[in-house]
Structures are given as structure tokens and as C-alpha cells.
């Protein structure tokens, strides 16, 4: 089963509070750890940018669940590729710090006047998330560890 990385963007249906984002992260970390999925989630003013990496089967089933979530819509796949190694190994779902979703930072990767992740090119999304991964500290001890080799169901 090939290892894959999927990057998509979406728009939240309401402006979400921090505790609502925390709830999404908590469920994601528990579920993703079970199926060997790692990744990162960014939430700007209204848009999500999420990276999911793992076995193709696990990525597809996770994404097919996320797509039905009534908290967001306009899901747009930016990139879906086979990869040799993970950017977010050990991270069930890394919460991207606000600095990375600041307007100034995102404009650098956005190729246009106003940042809109839904219109981002695959190359820009890869550059943003790849640069972010380079800076990443190891996961905290209170976050579920994700085996880098996916477990069989």
C-alpha cells in the first residue's frame, strides 16, 4: 500500500472558537493514531488547510469522513501524491501555530493579493507545509503517538 499525502482546503461554515478547533484536533488525533495517519491542520480567519499523510486506504477513508463534516464546506483537494517519507511523523494532527496562518506569512505562499487557500496551487501548498515541517518541534508527550508504519485493520 503506497504512502500518500493529501492536502486540501475548505471553509468553515461558522467562525470557530479555539475550543471547537481543539475538539476537532482531539478527535483527529485519536482516530488518526488508530490508522497510522499523521498531518497538520491550519485554521486562518475562516479557511482550513489540512495535510493528511499515511497509507492510501487510510487517507481515503479519513478524507471521505472529513468531507461529510457539517462544520465546513467547499472542500478542495490541492494535492494528492505518493511520498517516500512523512513530513509530520509522530503527529496525529499538528495544530499549526497562528504565526503560520498570519496574513503576512500566508501571502508569501499565496501568489496573490489576498490569501485564499481554496485557490492555492499545489506547489504553494507543498512549499508552505514543507517549510512548516522543517521547523517543527517533536510532538508533546500528551499527544497520542502515531506509528510510522500503519497497522493492519
Ligand X SMILES: Cc1cc2nc3c(=O)[nH]c(=O)nc-3n(C[C@H](O)[C@H](O)[C@H](O)COP(=O)(O)O)c2cc1C
Residue 101 makes contact with ligand X by CB under 6 A: no
Interface positions, 35-74, toward ligand X (CB under 6 A): 41, 48, 50, 52, 62, 65-66, 69, 71-72
CB of 122 to ligand X, least distance (A): 19
Q: Which three cell numbers stand for residue 102?
A: 498570519
Q: What is the largest CA-CA distance in the chain?
A: 45
Contact indicator for 145, 31 with CB cutoff of 8 Å: no
Question: Nearer Cβ to ligand X, position 67 or 104?
Answer: 67
- The rounded distance, in Å, linking the Cα atoms of 131 and 112 is 19
- Distance in angstroms (rounded) separating the CA atoms of residues 49 and 42: 5
Report the residue number, 41 or 132, with the smaller CB distance to ligand X. 41
Under DSSP, the state recorded for 8 is E
CA 120 from centroid of its chain's CA atoms: 14
Instruction: Decide if residue 86 touches ligand X (CB under 6 A).
Output: no
The x, y and z cell numbers of residue 87, run together, are: 513530513
Distance CA 93, CA 27 (A): 9
Applying CB under 6 A, among 11, 20, 26, 31 the residue interacting with ligand X is 31
Does 32 help bind ligand X (rule: CB under 6 A)?
yes
Instruction: Give whichever of 25 and 105 is closer to ligand X, judged by the CB atom.
Output: 25
Residue 27 in the binding site for ligand X (CB under 6 A) = yes
Closer residue to ligand X, CB minimum distance, 3 or 24: 24
DSSP H or E stretch at residue 30: helix 18-35
Q: By the criterion CB under 6 A, which residues form the site for ligand X?
A: 24, 27-28, 31-32, 41, 48, 50, 52, 62, 65-66, 69, 71-72, 93
Amino acid at each position: 500500500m503506497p504512502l500518500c499525502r493529501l492536502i486540501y482546503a475548505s471553509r468553515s461554515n461558522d467562525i470557530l472558537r479555539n475550543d471547537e478547533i481543539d475538539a476537532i484536533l482531539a478527535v483527529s488525533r485519536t482516530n488518526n493514531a488508530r490508522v497510522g495517519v499523521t498531518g497538520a491542520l491550519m485554521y486562518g480567519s475562516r479557511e482550513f488547510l489540512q495535510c493528511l499523510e499515511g497509507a492510501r486506504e487510510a487517507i481515503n477513508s479519513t478524507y471521505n469522513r472529513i468531507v461529510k463534516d457539517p462544520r465546513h464546506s467547499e472542500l478542495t483537494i490541492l494535492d494528492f501524491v505518493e511520498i517516500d517519507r512523512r513530513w509530520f511523523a509522530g503527529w496525529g494532527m499538528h495544530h499549526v501555530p497562528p504565526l503560520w496562518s498570519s496574513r503576512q506569512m500566508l501571502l508569501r505562499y499565496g501568489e496573490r493579493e489576498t490569501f485564499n487557500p481554496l485557490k492555492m496551487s499545489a506547489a504553494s501548498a507543498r512549499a508552505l507545509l514543507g517549510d512548516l515541517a522543517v521547523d517543527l518541534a517533536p510532538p508533546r508527550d500528551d499527544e497520542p503517538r502515531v506509528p510510522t508504519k500503519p497497522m493492519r485493520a
